[in-house]
Amino acid sequence: MERFKTTHQHGSTALLSNVRICVICVIMACSATCGISQDSKNLAKGSNPSPEEMQRFSSVPNFEWKEDKNGIKKGYFTNLNPRTKHIKRAAWWEVARFYLFKPKNAKPKSPLPFINTNLKTLHTQNPAFVWFGHSSFMLEMQGFKILVDPVFSNYASPYPWINRAFASHIHWGKENFDSIDVLVITHDHYDHLDYPTIIALKDKVKHFVVPLGVGSHLRFWGVDSQKITELQWWQSLKLTPSITITSTPSQHSSGRTIEWDRTLWSSYVLEMAGIKIFLSGDGGYYTHFKEIGEKFGGIDVAILENGQYNEAWRFSHSFTNEVLQAAIDLKAKMIIPIHYGRFVSGSHAWNEPLKNLIALCDGANIPISVPMLGEVYDFTTPPKREVWWDF
């Protein structure tokens, strides 16, 4: 497809192994009795790039080869921060504490309010945003639809008893879309790349834009490789004459099994009709936000991860004060927070990150827009601030 030509734009307390084995044994034992077929669990895990496919990443600056204990060379992506090239996994007791001692209001007492927008007929003059909870959302302009990290399943794991979504009165799925122009994935974690959603949507998607290596999962699930563009950091792709997407760094990790960091993780900058939109994906705070802000001369709307933080995984998810600092570094004119409101992977009340970020933004005089689920927010209009989250 001619218009999808790629161009370079800007140059360039591990889990103790015995504990891990125990956890895997428990998972295998439980999953054998929970009614999910072995086939679908294995399919959901996807397929990392083969060693041969990884050869093409050898020249990527944040990629390295390491020998395992059997002397076999394996390729891994890395972070910019030399102290956290590979983010240390949380200690097993920290993970156990997270699962055993969640705050009472980690999930809301009642379903979140929503607006049941007809996505098929949506046609706005200016770039607009529709949120589906957690990190799933759509950007739309004049009928052109970009779907980001869609997870329409009720759980973000291969097992329905792990990471179940909040109770909801609304469910989105393939029936809500006639076609999707571009589906963007930020990284391959289950709460961002959902096997059942990809299977349901893949024939309606015209093109996929994913970080290096993530195309391997999509091909394994039957997506035509002609429809996939993998981007490394700072690579751009023109989607239409007025819409360009650029992959930018983030500080995170990847992996759908015990094999970590074999595919890349990204943030993106989308330029839509002159409006610069930053999509954070997941990630901890580091110097890359400042670099992105400088290279793009500021950002108009920063759609930022805000939630699921924990001291034990502070390098892979930002605390709220760091989210504000990221917005300042990006020179963002407005924030839309995401990564909350559907799944629990942090030890805080479900709405704590949102309330805290609003207070911080108001103090710093940075506009923050908080549309409810399904609500259309046109970026050229004043921020949405009706309070729907106070319960």
Applying CB under 5 A, the span of 2-10, 82-90, 184-192, 325-333 interacting with Zn ion comes to 184-192
> Edge to edge, what strands does the sheet with 6-8 contain?
6-8, 235-240, 243-248, 267-272, 275-279, 301-305, 335-338
Among the listed ranges 181-189, 232-240, 256-264, 318-326, the one in contact with Zn ion (CB under 5 A) is 181-189
Q: Which is nearer to Zn ion, 252 or 331 (CB)?
A: 252
| Least Cβ distance, residue 139 to Zn ion (angstroms) | 20
Nearest CB to Zn ion, comparing residues 230 and 282: 282
Three-class SS string for 255-305?
CCCCCCCCCCCCEEEEEECCEEEEECCCCCCCCHHHHHHHHCCCECEEEEE
Stretch that binds Zn ion, among 73-81, 182-190, 218-226, 233-241 (CB under 5 A): 182-190
Find the part of the chain contacting Zn ion (CB under 5 A) among 150-158, 189-197, 236-244, 359-367: 189-197
Q: What single string gives the DSSP state of each residue in 319-370?
A: -HHHHHHHHHHHTBS-EEEES-SS---SSS-TTHHHHHHHHHHHHHT--B--
Among residues 211 and 293, whose Cβ is nearest to Zn ion? 211
Number of H helices, E strands in the chain: 9, 16
Nearer Cβ to Zn ion, position 253 or 369? 253
> Nearest distance from residue 250's CB to Zn ion, in Å?
9
Residue placing its CB nearer to Zn ion in the complex, 282 or 300: 282
Choose the binding region for Zn ion from 77-85, 277-285, 292-300, 343-351 (rule: CB under 5 A).
277-285
**CA atoms 194, 199, 200, 201: torsion sign:** positive
**Scanning the structure block, which residue is given the tokens 């008893």?**
161
8 membership: H or E segment, kind and range = strand 6-8
Binding of Zn ion at residue 89 (CB under 5 A)?
no
How far lies 298's CA from each of 140, 268, 291, 292, in Å?
A: 21, 14, 10, 8
Give me the 227-266 binding string for Zn ion, x by CB under 5 A, dash otherwise. Answer: ----------------------------------------
Rg (Cα) of the chain, in Å, rounded?
A: 20
Helices (H), 51-100: 51-54, 92-100
CA–CA separation, 331 and 328 (whole Å)? 5
Kindly tell me which of 288 and 331 has the beta carbon lying closer to Zn ion. 288
Residue 23 CB, nearest approach to Zn ion (Å): 19
Residues 140, 188, 271, 282: which binds Zn ion (CB under 5 A)? 282
Q: Of 151 and 180, which has the nearer Cβ to Zn ion? A: 151
Shortest distance (Å) from residue 282 CB to Zn ion: 4
Is residue 149 at the binding interface for Zn ion, with CB under 5 A as the rule? no
**Stretch of 1-9, 37-45, 224-232, 280-288 contacting Zn ion, by CB under 5 A:** 280-288
Would you give the DSSP letter of residue 114? B
Q: Which is nearer to Zn ion, 189 or 331 (CB)?
A: 189
Instruction: Tally the residues of the chain.
Output: 391
Interface with Zn ion, residue 189, by CB under 5 A:
yes
Stretch that binds Zn ion, among 66-74, 170-178, 188-196, 296-304 (CB under 5 A): 188-196
Least separation, in Å, of the C-beta of 79 and Zn ion? Answer: 13
* Residue among 45 and 189 whose Cβ is closer to Zn ion: 189
Give start and end residues of each alpha helix (H) in the chain.
17-33, 38-44, 51-54, 92-100, 195-201, 215-220, 288-295, 320-330, 352-364
Please, what is the minimum distance in Å from the beta carbon of residue 202 to Zn ion? 22
Contact residues: Zn ion, CB under 5 A:
189, 282
